[in-house]
Amino acid sequence: VDIDLIRNTWSQRLDPLLPVDTPEDKMVTNRALVDACIPYERLKDWAPWAAMSSEMWQKIRAKWGKELGIDGAQEARARGLPSFGDHGDRMG
């Protein structure tokens, strides 16, 4: 993970970190840029994702699905399935 701090960078009125009455010439904030991406060259040997089993997902959906508005389309996201590459062997 790489973290870069950018101090006194320009901002705008829509920035929730700035007080509403900040004058335009004082609209600066600090930012942190976090690169938490998996390096492509390490994709094959990267640690497995934390995932929920299908059985656990079905129990949660049966008990709380209606209250939480959970449908089948959300199952992959809830189970932590990746959206790239073939890592089915890591998912258990």
pLDDT digits (tens, 9 = 90+) for 65-91: 888 877 655 555 655 555 444 444 444
Q: What are phi and psi of 49, to 5 degrees?
A: -75, 150
Given this model, what pLDDT does residue 71 score?
A: 64
pLDDT digits (tens, 9 = 90+) for 35-68: 988 888 988 888 877 777 888 888 888 888 888 8
pLDDT digits (tens, 9 = 90+) for 17-28: 889 899 999 999
Count Cβ neighbours within 10 Å for each residue of 77-88 and write b for 16 or more, e otherwise.
eebeebeeeeee
